[in-house]
Structure 1
Amino acid sequence: MRLNRNAFLKALGAGVALASTAAYAQSGQPTPPRFRILIPANAGGGWDLTGRALGQALIASGQASEVSFENRGGAAGTIGLAQFANGYRGDAHALMVMGSVMLGGIITGAPPVRLAQVRPIARLTNEYNVFVLPPGSAFADMAEVLKQFRNDPRSIKWGGGSRGSTEHIAIHMLAKAMGVAPNRINYVPFRGGGEAAAAVMAGYVTVGGSGFSEFLPHITSGRMRAVAVTSSLRLPGTGAPTLTELGVNVVIGNWRGLCAPAGLSPSELLAAQDAIRQALLSQAWQSAVQRHQWLPDPLIGQAFEDFVDREFESLREVLLKAGLA
């Protein structure tokens, strides 16, 4: 799918488009470059929403004349990671969405690619998970689910993102806190939030878990019931208790960011960082953050690379203890 700057501006109004075009002509600046964004997940999930919102922000902030998107889901984003590492190397105007889920996928799945083959460039947002029940569920709330999970773990079918996703890790953290053996967890992984949402609404799984923004439209429409969140405080718009309130000390977040391909010169890397920085200041991005109720958590450049290294080791320790690594 391709998003054209002219079409985007036209949607905002002809006056805005004319003013923008005149500004470029008067400044003598070259037309902004075309960007490509690889989204290593299927359409409809959190990574997809993030990537497309960032694409709009690049255009709205004048950093891109056009943005094309490619979805390549599966294996916690590592299939897309392999494609990006091998096919986008040296492209100064290519970006890929990434996040904590991808780190978990690398740790648990042992894919043939590593993060060292790309360049983490910016953290954009943080988000907590929400656990939901289908409208027709026999369970009234999460307290009943946890009671059943303690008594008969295999009877609860959990559905969520790929193996190693934050909701998958959260369930293993739940199991550990409740004295449930890891091998008794009945978890069904899906390639993205869209698939997980469909499985929940169809009653295929007992409990669904995903990023809050991914399930928010379905919660608002009444097609799911939010019953717990993985944050330390309740999230507006759900009314659901935290797991800590329910007597299980589990808190885990799901950050999302971007990486650039390997092979960029220092000046190209700095230019990409600046483009993202400008995009995050745009009204288009601020509106997307508000609409999806994301938690802005920007971190750009070396500070983000250092964060990713620390996060990888922290997740690896958790997954090793859970028997997933």
Structure 2
Amino acid sequence: MKRFILGTLIASIMVLPAFATDYRIMAPAAPGGGWDQTARAMQTALQDENISDSVQVVNVPGAGGTIGLAQFANQAQGDPSQLIVGGYVMVGAILTNNSPVTLEQVTPIARLTGEYEVIVVPASSDIQDMAGLIEKLKADPGAVSWGGGSAGGTDHITAGLVAKAVGVDPTKINYIAFSGGGEALAAILGGQVTAGISGYGEFESQIKAGQLRLLGISSDEPIEGIDAPTFKEAGVDVSIQNWRMVAAAPGITDEEKAAITADIEKMVNSESWQQILADKGWANTYLAGEAFQAQLQKDIESTEAILKEIGLVQ
């Protein structure tokens, strides 16, 4: 009888569900932008799929994510419940801000999404297409102001590459950096800048509402559901894709890193996440493990080369 009771107890313990990790995800930018959207999309998917019982999102804006990155690296040491969103923009910001804290000070987990850049103007603008924008840019580069995300980020790089592709000195562009997508959008809608540049998802609602005019997209081929020519189709030989990633705290164990990676993989493969990607127009560029580490290093090197080419890094 005692053996039966003991066996029953052991069996009941074995079928108890494992306790899900409570996560705290830092979006190192103001609300409204791509990192904030990514962190909140993760929050939704992790909770909806019961991968995590509780997910908190915190915003720490400034300097292309490097302020948040520094805070994360210093305060999250050894804590497997802490995550931070980053990506292409952060790689550029680390270089342009000469940040003492880099992605080497955290634990990269996976690349999550990719998103192409678009250029928009207010619906009231006299610029009707990419040709009109380029005409103004060639006539007086400084008179065309570009509103986008942090200095040295994907938006800034894209503006520089567009200028270079049409024969304009990229160091002469008038780029106005905003710390969050909400601030940039308000400036674009208010006519405070000539054109706006960011991921399609950040402008989608205003484009569909007729408040913004979409001039072009940075993909190699037209994107289904997005009514705009590619930059190349508009005569500007530029293609570029922003990407976003998630990293864990420094100083965690290999077992903790493996557990976090497993949770992220479950999230990426979930129906909730796939629906979010479709709704946001984000590409699934999931890459983890050693393959991601190798690709990240290549991206850092290529970004540095581009930033030097357009005069943002010496």
Return the TM-score normalized by structure 2: 0.93
Measure the CA separation in 2 of the matches of 1:25 and 1:282.
27
Measure the CA separation in 2 of the matches of 1:247 and 1:173.
13
> How many angstroms does 1:155 deviate by?
1.1
- Partner residue in 2 for 1:128: 116
Q: Secondary structure at the match of 1:310?
A: helix
Measure the CA separation in 2 of the matches of 1:154 and 1:235.
31
Which of residues 52, 56, 62 in structure 2 aligns to 1:74? 62
Letter in 1 for 2:256: E
Measure the CA separation in 2 of the matches of 1:138 and 1:130.
18
What whole-Å deviation, never above 9, does each CA across 1:124-171 have from its counterpart, x for those lacking one? 111101100101101111210101101111111111010011121011
1:137 and 2:114 correspond: no
1:52 and 2:40 correspond: yes
Letter in 2 for 1:286: Q
1:166 and 2:177 correspond: no
Contact 1:40 1:73 in 2 (8 A): yes
- Partner residue in 2 for 1:287: 275
> How many angstroms does 1:25 deviate by?
9.7
What whole-Å deviation, never above 9, does each CA across 1:267-298 have from its counterpart, x for those lacking one? 00000000000111222111111111111111
> How many angstroms does 1:260 deviate by?
0.7
1:33 and 2:21 correspond: yes
Measure the CA separation in 2 of the matches of 1:269 and 1:31.
17
- Partner residue in 2 for 1:315: 303
Measure the CA separation in 2 of the matches of 1:64 and 1:27.
18
Measure the CA separation in 1 of the matches of 2:13 and 2:308.
57
What whole-Å deviation, never above 9, does each CA across 1:201-229 have from its counterpart, x for those lacking one? 11111000001111111111111111111
Contact 2:160 2:171 in 1 (8 A): no
Measure the CA separation in 2 of the matches of 1:182 and 1:121.
34
Which of residues 206, 217, 220 in structure 2 aligns to 1:229? 217
Measure the CA separation in 2 of the matches of 1:58 and 1:163.
31
Contact 1:60 1:279 in 2 (8 A): no
Please, which moves more after superposition, 262-271 or 242-251?
Answer: 242-251
Give unpaired runs (5+ residues) of structure 2: 1-11
1:192 and 2:180 correspond: yes
What whole-Å deviation, never above 9, does each CA across 1:220-253 have from its counterpart, x for those lacking one? 1111111111111122333111111121110110
Contact 1:167 1:209 in 2 (8 A): yes
Which of residues 205, 216, 219 in structure 1 aligns to 2:207? 219
- Partner residue in 2 for 1:270: 258
- Partner residue in 1 for 2:94: 106
Contact 2:60 2:68 in 1 (8 A): yes
1:238 and 2:226 correspond: yes
> How many angstroms does 1:188 deviate by?
0.4
> How many angstroms does 1:31 deviate by?
2.8
Letter in 1 for 2:119: F
- Partner residue in 1 for 2:72: 84
**How many residue pairs were aligned?**
302
Change (3 A) 1:267 1:143: same
What whole-Å deviation, never above 9, does each CA across 1:183-212 have from its counterpart, x for those lacking one? 321110011222111111111110000011
> How many angstroms does 1:27 deviate by?
3.2
Measure the CA separation in 2 of the matches of 1:25 and 1:288.
36
- Partner residue in 2 for 1:12: none
Letter in 2 for 1:231: S
Measure the CA separation in 2 of the matches of 1:164 and 1:25.
53
Which of residues 23, 30, 34 in structure 2 aligns to 1:42? 30
Letter in 2 for 1:258: V
Letter in 2 for 1:259: A
Measure the CA separation in 2 of the matches of 1:243 and 1:63.
40
> How many angstroms does 1:26 deviate by?
9.2
Measure the CA separation in 2 of the matches of 1:236 and 1:151.
33
Letter in 1 for 2:139: N
Contact 1:226 1:238 in 2 (8 A): no
Identity %: 42
